[in-house]
Amino acid sequence: MINFSPRKGDLTLYLGSLEKNSALLESLGKVKTSKGCLSVKRLEDLNLPALKRLIKASVDEKRKSGA
């Protein structure tokens, strides 16, 4: 349900729609986002409890939609 890609310049998580979780995105820290991707240079740049909540919210949303 969640995909991860360690790229050369950053780490990318494919979470699906991030629009519904804008409050969590703001509390994450230094990240770049696109429609369903979250990219970060280093894990130390992230608020890990907020990332955990964002991942859980994304999985819950996908389960509700039947994906």
The more confident residue out of 62 and 17 is 62
Reading the block at residue 39, the tokens are: 């990219």
Eight-state DSSP code of residue 47: -
Q: In the structure, what pLDDT confidence band is assigned to residue 67 with cuts at 50, 70 and 90?
A: low
Query: pLDDT, tens digit, for every residue of 7-43?
Result: 888 999 998 878 888 888 889 989 999 888 999 998 8
Q: In the structure, what pLDDT confidence band is assigned to residue 53 with cuts at 50, 70 and 90?
A: very high
- Angstrom distances, CA of residue 30 to CA of 21, 44, 53, 62: 16, 9, 16, 25
